[in-house]
Structure 1
Amino acid sequence: MLGVKWKNVYNMDEKGLQIGGGRKSTGEKYLFGRLDPSKYKSRDANLELVTIIECVSADGVALVPGFVFQGGSSLEVEWLEVDDRIIVSTSPNGWTDDEICLNWFKSTFIPQA
């Protein structure tokens, strides 16, 4: 591939997750007996979104993720105490936008890549 080393080829993506499972399944598996008439599960109706920004190089090295929480401009102190390299942001809907992505690129991708 034009002499570019695999460690210098990256894929970045984002994944939105609803806290509490929301309207769709949480991915948890439940086992029921075939003859059990009460086949149901409880689920939280919380629709709050958290977006995770992830990036991995073609040789398998993962950068630390970024997180975008739904809310205003205030961040919980605990969110920032895990790893100094992790970017934590908020947006009104929990999605990334141009400004958040540029901040992630400058603060996470460039220093780690």
Structure 2
Amino acid sequence: MDEIGVMLSMLGSVKILMGKDDPRDYRGTNVKRTTVTAIECISADGRSLLPMIIWPATTHRANWTTYPTPRWHYAYSESEYNDSKISLEWIKQIRDARDT
């Protein structure tokens, strides 16, 4: 099992064209960043479990999964990261999906 954080960036509408010697620093202007964590598990023989995508929030938001990937699992965490509660929920969801 492993986890990885993916940073999503939503650039503002500002575009800047400048020379390479311009002393002003425009990097990061109007950039909103959100980190999403994914946990996955792959065995040595190549079998894998469906991933769990963890959104940074205190409650679920419907627009996260407007076009969800079938059978992937989704969760939310105020800290943006995986914890034992989320991992246990992921395993339970995978077990329940397998049993149906």
TM-score bracket for this pair, using the shorter chain length: 0.5 to 0.7
**3-state secondary structure, aligned to 2:65:** helix
* Cα displacement string for residues 52-103 of structure 1 (whole angstroms, at most 9, x for unaligned residues): 0111121112221110001121232561753453210111132111211110
Identify the structure with the greater strand proportion.
Answer: 2
Asked if residue 18 in structure 1 is aligned to residue 4 in structure 2, the reply is no
The Cα shift of 1:48 comes to 1.3
- The residue number in structure 1 matching 2:80 is 94
CA RMSD of aligned residues (A): 3.0
Instruction: Please list every run of 5 or more consecutive structure 1 residues that lacks an aligned counterpart in the other structure.
Output: 1-11, 22-36
Distance 2:41 2:63 in 1: 24
Residue 85 of structure 1 pairs with residue 74 of structure 2: no
CA distance in 2, matches of 1:80, 1:103: 22
When the two structures are superposed, what TM-score results if normalisation uses the length of structure 2? 0.64
1:50 equivalent in structure 2: 36
Q: Per-residue CA shift, 1:34-66, capped at 9, x if unaligned? A: xxx75xxx7673331100011112111222111
- 2:41 is paired with a residue whose SS is strand
1:60, 1:102 → 2: CA distance? 22
Give the aligned residue type for 1:105.
I
Aligned-partner residue type, residue 53 of structure 1:
I
Q: Which residue of 1 aligns with 2:53?
A: 67
Whole-Å Cα distance in 1 between the matches of residues 64 and 36 of structure 2? Answer: 16
Aligned residues: 85
Runs of 4+ in 1 over 2 A off after TM superposition: 42-47, 80-85
5+ long unaligned stretches in structure 2: 11-18, 21-26
